Structure 1
Amino acid sequence: MATMNISLPDQMKAWVEAQTDGGRYSNSSDYVRDLIRREQIKAEKIANMQRLIDEAYASGISDQTPREIFEDIRAEYLAETTRKAG
């Protein structure tokens, strides 16, 4: 495992130390690693949502009414449910 030294203002250092005092993290490195993991997951979720938005824009505008779209989705859902049950 690589080592990285970081500088924090006193207030931030105190915050990190307070998080480790609660027992959830064994030391400040564990806490920082958890923050980084959470940020990685968040970034992946945002990238996935952006991909879905881009796909939606690329698919164009539907000429169906909202009711027609809902009915199509409902029919697909019911067909899938019936297929799985059968």
Structure 2
Amino acid sequence: MTSINISLPDSMGAYIEQQVTSGGYSSASEYFRELVRQDQKRKAKEQVETLLLEGLNSGTATEMTTQDWQDIRQVVRERAMKRKEQDQG
């Protein structure tokens, strides 16, 4: 586990101690880990939203054909085989 030292103004330190006490955290480290996890989730959500918007703005939607589904299944099978080979090797 990595250790990081953080310098904070007294007012922020007091705020963190208050959050630890009132939020049911066992330590300031636990509180900071939770903040980092929340930030990671927020950024992942932003990335998904960006990708969805790119998809929506990428042009006119077309109906999926039987061939499209077959192509997708083939790509998935190939990726699964590669992953299985990597796991075994």
The TM-score bracket by the shorter chain reads 0.5 to 0.7
Whether 2:7 is the aligned partner of 1:39: answer no
Query: Which residue of structure 2 aligns with residue 78 of structure 1?
Result: none
Q: What's the C-alpha RMSD, in Å, of the aligned pairs?
A: 1.4
With the length of structure 1 as denominator, give the TM-score of the two structures. Answer: 0.66
Q: What SS is found at the alignment partner of 2:2?
A: coil
Report how many residues are paired. Answer: 61
Query: Which residue of structure 2 aligns with residue 28 of structure 1?
Result: 28
Report the Cα distance in structure 1 between the residues aligned to 2:24 and 2:31, rounded to whole angstroms. Answer: 9
Report the Cα distance in structure 1 between the residues aligned to 2:40 and 2:57, rounded to whole angstroms. Answer: 26
Task: Give the 5 Å matches for 1:7-86.
Answer: 7-22=7-22, 24-60=24-60
Give a deviation string over 1:8-37, Cα, whole Å, max 9, x none: 111111110001112510000000000000
Query: Which residue of structure 1 aligns with residue 65 of structure 2?
Result: none
Report the Cα distance in structure 2 between the residues aligned to 1:10 and 1:3, rounded to whole angstroms. Answer: 21
Unaligned stretches of 5+ residues in structure 2: 62-89
Q: What SS is found at the alignment partner of 1:3?
A: coil
Residue 54 to residue 27, structure 1, CA distance change in 2 (3 Å): same
Report the Cα distance in structure 2 between the residues aligned to 1:23 and 1:11, rounded to whole angstroms. Answer: 18
With the length of structure 2 as denominator, give the TM-score of the two structures. Answer: 0.64
Unaligned stretches of 5+ residues in structure 1: 63-86
Residue 51 to residue 12, structure 1, CA distance change in 2 (3 Å): same
Aligned residues with identical type, % of pairs: 36
